[in-house]
Amino acid sequence: MRAQRFNSLSQLAAVMAGFAVTILLLESEALTVWAGRLEVSRVSMIAGAAASAIHNALRPLGIEDVRRASLTGLDRLGWSDDPARLMAARNAYLGNSIWPEKPCNATVAPGRTPSFASPRGASAPLVSSVPLHTALPQLPPPTAGKPRVLALVGDSMMAVGLSDILLRDTAADQDVRVVKAFRSGTGLARSDVFNWMTEYPAMIGTTQPDAIIVAIGANDAQGFVDNGKVLAFDSEGWTKVYQQHTAAFLNMLTQNGAHVVWMALPPMKSAAYNEKIARINRIMYTVVSQYPQVSWWNPAPYLGTDEGAYRDFATTSDGKTTRIRQPDGIHMSDDGAALLAPALMHWLNLAPPVREAQAEPAPQNPSHHARRERRPR
């Protein structure tokens, strides 16, 4: 009988150590990126400093350059699903300049030189409150034979529920072409995690939307680092920089004359989270109100109570009760998103779809009814 051989603990430790060294050699830059994406805290700052020190020590070996060149080659072949990485790989292959590393105050479009002009609303005094009942002025009808190009932009507030409904409602309409430019888990606060100033131009490519619907900000109630300084959420410094990020983003969206609907974040179930969202809405409205071609639109009267408070359920036209928000108390359900679609289709000057047993908005007080936009039938 042959003796069974076992690996010793020292051999296992050697293998693990070799594996760790290989990871450090090949992924030291990725380790730095990972540390930078941690929620801002003392621990994340220490982790970031340690990762940066390791990366800087290994950089002279040149291994990272080989790895980066290999990944760029794979991206050119379609390996990545990140539009900005694919665009950067194409530009590198063609010998074009790649997007600037920190374009937060720039407007960037494919093939254009970034403009560092100061965006509107970047330093406007913060409003004390946002309007609850808002109307959407209807756009001119689409030009015959030239479909309106609509971009759906944002984070999971666009990706979950709302985009599905709008894509479904416009699918058979020859007067509109929809461009998807949304990504869950993103926002305007942490450009180190996902930089909309580079990702949006890559998402739309050479397309120039003339109408844009934006739903973003649900992930932005967190601190971030700006110029090496930790800014806590809701601090004076945080508010100033976030306002600048919002203004720069909106400047980019409107640089070619597009008309924009900027959706306020709806009421949230958690009282603490809802308070943070209210702060973000105030900052966003401060910026949005500076742009004549941008309409601030508050979905609270559709998704919330008459006073704009959170509600989970609504009654359909046939008397049934349906859930209009996801169980997480943040996102919209399909039925909740369907409440918003008619007003948005009316804004686009497109025929609204006919739905059976659609949920109804919250009942309105008579004093509010006159101020609220009429929903097209």
**Euclidean distance between CA atoms 97 and 31, whole angstroms:** 26
For 288-301, what is the mean pLDDT?
96
What is the pLDDT, as a whole number, of residue 96? 44
pLDDT band at 85 (very low <50, low <70, confident <90, very high): low
Q: For residue 79, give the amino acid letter.
A: W
Q: Whole-model pTM?
A: 0.74
Report the chain's mean pLDDT, rounded to a whole number.
79
What's the CATH number for 148-369? 3.40.50.1110
Rounded to an integer, the average pLDDT of 314-327 is 92
Instruction: Please give the average per-residue pLDDT across 291-308, as a whole number.
Output: 95
Assess whether pLDDT exceeds 80 at residue 308.
yes
Tokens standing for residue 275 = 């308070």
pLDDT digits (tens, 9 = 90+) for 190-230: 998 899 999 999 999 999 999 999 999 999 999 999 988 99
Q: Of the given ranges (94-98, 157-161, 198-202, 252-256), which has the lowest mean pLDDT?
A: 94-98
Q: Is residue 212 classed as helix, strand or coil in its secondary structure?
A: strand
CB neighbourhood size of 278 (10 A) = 16
- Give the type of residue at 263: M
Give the domain ranges of the chain: 9-94, 148-369
Which has more confidence, 69 or 316?
A: 316
Residues 120 and 247: beta-carbon distance below 8 Å: yes
